[in-house]
Amino acid sequence: MKKTNTLLFIALMALTFASCASTGLASSHKKGFGPLSVRIPYANVENYYGYISTETQPDGNFDGKDAHYLYFWVPAVIDEVGISMCSPANSEPAEGDFSSDAFTSLYTENDEAFFDTFIALEKMAIFDENKIASGGEVLGVLATNDDSSEMRKNPAGNSYNSLLRHVSEVSDPLRALTRGVYRIAFTSYRGEVNGSFVANVGTNIPGVVIASSLEELEKAVTADSDAS
């Protein structure tokens, strides 16, 4: 029995690292036996590669700090979402990943620039895929994270990359994970935001789309709908 448990643990570890080797992103659910437990990877993880330079204007403000935004569309009710952000990106987008024009143009010039990430997950009052660009108010902050020991360390050797999870609270409409648009606000509490990053959104459903503006998000979401 002990040998079987050990083999199961090794198999779970292999699955976790195969899915989340670059980000450490896995769900709040664990599987295993006692101390031989690992987090179960999300069924679907979407990646977004971006680059913020010193010339990039902030999108808004979070807790008194200049902040930048990413938006993502969730096409159905979900049980949980995980968000992570690493800087520098340490890799380039693979087929199917999302990325910004700034990443494409600036990463090759300076792939070593990085910043200490802080992320916040916000729920927005946008529920119609055809009205995403029209905008909507932020209904509330679901979760935040500054430093996560689960993430890889930055080039300075510090655990300053970020990871958060939010489990849907169906009894509270403002904290339930419904179909609609969510916003990732990110900044840094240690210096300025300057360098490349990769953001990851983990869910247990397909069809999540990420963009740096609501206009881009609506185009991508409606294009996917037309294609299907």
pLDDT tens, 154-197? 999 999 999 999 999 999 999 999 999 999 999 999 999 999 99
State the pairing for strand pair 209-211/98-99. Answer: unpaired
Residue 23: helix, strand or coil by DSSP? coil
pTM comes to 0.88
CB burial of residue 139 (10 Å; 0-12, 13-18, 19+): middle
Can you give the pLDDT at residue 19?
Answer: 33
The answer on 94 and 11 residing in a single domain is: no
The answer on 94 and 51 residing in a single domain is: yes
- The beta strand positions in 55-112, using DSSP E, are 60-62, 65-74, 80-86, 98-99
pLDDT 10s digits, 51-70: 999 999 999 999 999 999 99
The answer on 206 and 175 residing in a single domain is: yes
The answer on 176 and 122 residing in a single domain is: yes
Q: Assess whether pLDDT exceeds 50 at residue 12.
A: no
Can you give the pLDDT at residue 30?
Answer: 82
Can you give the pLDDT at residue 36?
Answer: 73
The answer on 85 and 34 residing in a single domain is: no
Residue 154 DSSP class: P
Residues linked to residue 86 through DSSP beta bridges, in sequence order? 198
What is the chain's mean pLDDT, rounded?
Answer: 89
Contact between 124 and 218 (Cβ < 8 Å): no
pLDDT band at 17 (very low <50, low <70, confident <90, very high): very low
Question: Residue 134 belongs to a domain with what CATH number?
Answer: 2.60.120.380
Q: Which helix (H) or strand (E) holds 51?
A: strand 44-52
Upstream peptide bond of 88 is cis (omega within 30 degrees of 0)? yes
Can you give the pLDDT at residue 11?
Answer: 46
The answer on 208 and 171 residing in a single domain is: yes
Q: Which helix (H) or strand (E) holds 139?
A: strand 138-145
Residue 14, domain extent: 1-41
Rg (CA), the chain: 18
The answer on 26 and 54 residing in a single domain is: no
The answer on 19 and 100 residing in a single domain is: no
Looking at per-residue confidence, does 28 or 185 come out higher? 185
pLDDT band at 31 (very low <50, low <70, confident <90, very high): confident
Residue 7: helix, strand or coil by DSSP? helix
The answer on 59 and 10 residing in a single domain is: no
State the pairing for strand pair 44-52/98-99. Answer: parallel
- Per cent of the chain over pLDDT 70 is 86
DSSP 3-state helix, strand, coil percentages of the chain (rounded to 5)? 20, 35, 45
How many domains are there within the chain? 2
Contact between 50 and 87 (Cβ < 8 Å): no
Contacts 24+ apart (CB under 8 A), 145-149: 145/118, 145/119, 146/117, 146/118, 146/189, 147/116, 148/24, 148/84
pLDDT band at 24 (very low <50, low <70, confident <90, very high): low
